[in-house]
Amino acid sequence: MQFTVAIDGPAAAGKGTISRAVAERFGFAHLDTGLLYRAVGMKGGDPVAAARALSEADLARPDLRSLEAGEAASTVAVLPEVRAALLEFQRAFARREGGAVLDGRDIGTVICPGAEVKLFVTASPEIRAERRWREAGAGEYADVLAQVRARDARDMGRADAPLRPAEDAIPLDTSALSIEDAIAAAARLVAARLPTR
Ligand code: DC
């Protein structure tokens, strides 16, 4: 069975946690596409060459979840040649046998416009900044909020594959939801679209 779940949304809206949980619940493979851009950003040198030569080792770097990697990712992600170099890998992953969940910014709009399920996971900038700030356990809330807003502006404002919901994406606002409730809501939406055997 081929079955693609596309989960898009801004940074720290809960996409990653929801995607991992949905993949586990239904036995699907999961690809966090942000990691591809993070690995390209952290490799240094020419980002287009880095994207074309991305290896397993690049994706296994321990520092890919850092704030620095997120910023580097957002910067190289504006380059159309970088996005083009990563496209086929993501599409092939999406159509693998047994089902796949991909989370990112442009999965429902560009990578997998035909995905069986498209979710657009959001939360207010204030709530997302608060989550990030609590996770970090350090620094000033105001600085984190400013970073969240700057990253949103860059991801939504770029010309190539900007962050936006696909027309047929289902919005899931997690601002007032616990993580358990957000996962349950996403799982219900996926279950409702699974082919009946
Ligand atoms: O989801 P994340 O925080 O790991 O993503 C890091 C950056 O990578 C994000 O700010 C923009 C870019 N990105 C993208 O442009 N397209 C994707 N599908 C995933 C991430």
- CATH number for the domain spanning 121: value is 3.40.50.300
Identify the residue whose C-alpha is closest to ligand 1 atom 9. 74
Report yes or no: 32 and 103 within 8 Å, Cβ to Cβ. Answer: yes
What is the residue-wise DSSP string for 65-122? TSHHHHHHHHHHTT-HHHHHHHHHHHHHHHTSTT-EEEEESSIIIII-TT-SEEEEEE
In this prediction, what percent of the chain has a pLDDT beyond 90? 89
Identify the residue whose C-alpha is closest to ligand 1 atom 13. 34
Report yes or no: 123 and 174 within 8 Å, Cβ to Cβ. Answer: yes
Query: Full-prediction pTM beyond 0.85?
Result: yes
Token pair 């910014």 is found at 105
Cα-to-centroid distance, 103 and ligand 1 (Å): 9
Identify the residue whose C-alpha is closest to ligand 1 atom 10. 74
**Which of the listed residues 36, 59, 105, 128 should we mutate to test ligand 1's pocket, taking the one with most ligand atoms within 8 A of CB?**
105
> What is the number of domains present in the chain?
1
* Structure confidence at residue 46 as a pLDDT band (50, 70, 90): very high
* Pocket lined around ligand 1, Cβ cut-off 6 Å: 11, 33-34, 37-38, 70, 73-74, 77, 104-106, 151, 155
Instruction: Give per-residue pLDDT as tens, 93-136.
Output: 999 999 999 999 999 999 999 999 999 999 999 999 999 899 88
Tell me, what's the pLDDT at 197?
A: 63
* Whole-number Cα distances in Å, 147 to 33, 36, 162, 174: 20, 21, 18, 20
Cα-to-centroid distance, 32 and ligand 1 (Å): 9
Residues 101, 116: Cα–Cα separation, whole Å: 10
Average pLDDT rounded to a whole number, residues 135-160? 91
Say which DSSP state 158 is in. Answer: -
Q: What is the extent of the structural domain holding 39?
A: 4-193
Tell me, what's the pLDDT at 130?
A: 95
